[in-house]
Amino acid sequence: MRHNFPILRLALLFILILGFGACASEPVETESPAPEQAEPPAPVESPVFPQLTPSKAQEIMACDTPFVLLDVREPSEFETGYISGAVLMPLGTLRERASLEILDKDAQIIVYCRSGRRSVDAIHILLELGFQNVFNLGGILDWPYEITQAE
């Protein structure tokens, strides 16, 4: 029996190693805190501004209330035709020029472009600069009234 003792020792050691190895490979379950409920992201607030119909814009332009009719297209577009009384201030220059050229931050500003996309961008810029009474006319493509041709 004495001769078998080292073999038994090795066998027991082998079994222990296999047993611990098996335990180590099993996933250890621990109690983890419940995952926090993710709150839905807050909606990005977009400034709200009035959308003018062409007829409402004509009403504003016909009364004695001061207003600025702002065309934010490029000069080449402006030359193809514009709404009478419009001031050309391309969108790319608006941030620099608006505060210098439109001094009254409370003036009514009616903004338009070709299709209505740049006018929305322009209104966001004007609101950031502190202008209060900005109105989106949209695009000159939707203007049903007379358009002045550049000379």
Give the catalytic positions in this structure: 113
**Could you tell me the sign of the dihedral formed by the alpha carbons of 130, 83, 118, 41, in that order?**
positive
Spell out a b/e string for 34-57, using b for 16 or more CB atoms within 10 Å of the CB, else e.
Answer: eeeeeeeeeeeeeeebeebebeeb
Q: How many CB atoms lie within 10 A of CB 114?
A: 18
Contact call for residues 68 and 111 (beta carbons, < 8 A): no
Bridge partners, 69 (sequence order): 110
